[in-house]
Amino acid sequence: EKISNDDINKNTKPSTNDLPHSEDEDDKDIMDENSEEMKKFNNRVSVVKNRIAISGEVFNANSAKNFIAPVYDKTIDQNNRIEKSLKKNFIFNSLNEDQQKVIIGAMLIKKVNSNDVVIKEGDEGSELFIVGTGLLKCYKNIPDKDEQTFIRDYNPGDLFGELALMYNAPRAATIIANEESELFSLDRETFNNIVKAAVVNQRERHENFLRRIEFLNDLSEGDRAKICDCLITERLKKGDVIIKENDLGDKFYLIESGTAEAYKFDSNGKEIVVYEYKENDYFGELALLGNDPRQASVRVTSDKFIVASMDRDAFNRLLGSVKSRLYKNISKYQKYLDK
């Protein structure tokens, strides 16, 4: 599926042409975190694998406190669809429920016709989109090719146009409606004041939280900061099963708030609780320390539960120096089993 650059220019709405954009950044591949351009961005906004990290220069926490987001009328069904989409996109990970509601309210319905250019590569970005209904296609300029290269489809629930807002970068690809579609748009100001603000808050929370975890006491501030960068927050509810016995494990968990229990089944198929976890405890370390399947299941026992996780890679890289303390602590499970 190919379209030419001319097709894109022909269909672009005049308003997007008026936006400033710098020529020299046009061919850049935003996804390459090691490119020179990306290093430049990192001085202002540092990008850490699937995370948005924001420096004080571009983000003013005080102004965020006074910000009032717009509220646009939508049907319950539309709001539900936006909510579902927010939940599956990591960039909204830091939002609590109230903040999610603000974002849902601030989403503006935009209808586009077949062939409309919704985003043009190289332009400045002022909004991100969630697809409500319809189908859109993403194309990118690949250097040395005069045709646009098809990258992917965007279907209902999908999100696009986030990169320009997250990284303060020009649009990295072109998005064209393939049929009449309904989009939900979130403006840049609301994104900065709610989503980026939540990332900053979450980072502070994580830093404080890591200080309270005993086995991490020996780490330097710098190492703690690195751990913060790769923690992913999940919000769960009572009864949710986080880990299933015998599954292959690839994540390590730290409890930010709430309680959970580890349980196994004995030879008669009877369930036994082998450990109870509270705030600041960790679990999921055995599979990562020993490369074994999960030794027990873990489920949430409090109404609300916030857990931060890191993957195996980060665990090995960042917790190497404190692993011996984790090994020492393994005996705690045995005590429970012998009871």
Residues that bind ligand 1OR (CB under 6 A): 29-31, 119, 125, 138, 140, 151-152, 160-164, 171-173, 175
Smallest gap from residue 79 Cβ to ligand 1OR (A): 22
Smallest gap from residue 123 Cβ to ligand 1OR (A): 8
Smallest gap from residue 16 Cβ to ligand 1OR (A): 11
Smallest gap from residue 311 Cβ to ligand 1OR (A): 19
Smallest gap from residue 288 Cβ to ligand 1OR (A): 27
Give CA–CA dist 171/141, Å, rounded. Answer: 11
Neighbours of 265 (CB within 10 A): 12
Q: In the complex with ligand 1OR, which residue's Cβ is closer, 54 or 173?
A: 173
Of the candidates 194, 239, 227, 207, the one whose C-alpha atom is nearest the C-alpha of residue 91 is: 194
Q: In the complex with ligand 1OR, which residue's Cβ is closer, 112 or 119?
A: 119
Smallest gap from residue 132 Cβ to ligand 1OR (A): 16
Smallest gap from residue 237 Cβ to ligand 1OR (A): 30
Q: In the complex with ligand 1OR, which residue's Cβ is closer, 166 or 228?
A: 166
Give CA–CA dist 192/167, Å, rounded. Answer: 11
Say which amino acid occupies 137: K
Q: In the complex with ligand 1OR, which residue's Cβ is closer, 31 or 241?
A: 31
Smallest gap from residue 32 Cβ to ligand 1OR (A): 9
Q: In the complex with ligand 1OR, which residue's Cβ is closer, 4 or 35?
A: 35
Q: In the complex with ligand 1OR, which residue's Cβ is closer, 89 or 301?
A: 89
Q: In the complex with ligand 1OR, which residue's Cβ is closer, 124 or 311?
A: 124
Q: In the complex with ligand 1OR, which residue's Cβ is closer, 175 or 287?
A: 175
Say which amino acid occupies 127: E
User: Tokens in use for 104?
Assistant: 């849902």
Smallest gap from residue 33 Cβ to ligand 1OR (A): 12
Q: In the complex with ligand 1OR, which residue's Cβ is closer, 188 or 323?
A: 188
Say which amino acid occupies 42: N
Q: If you compute the radius of gyration of the chain from its CA atoms, what whole number of angstroms results?
A: 23
Rounded (10°) CA dihedral 72, 75, 76, 77: -120
Say which amino acid occupies 119: I
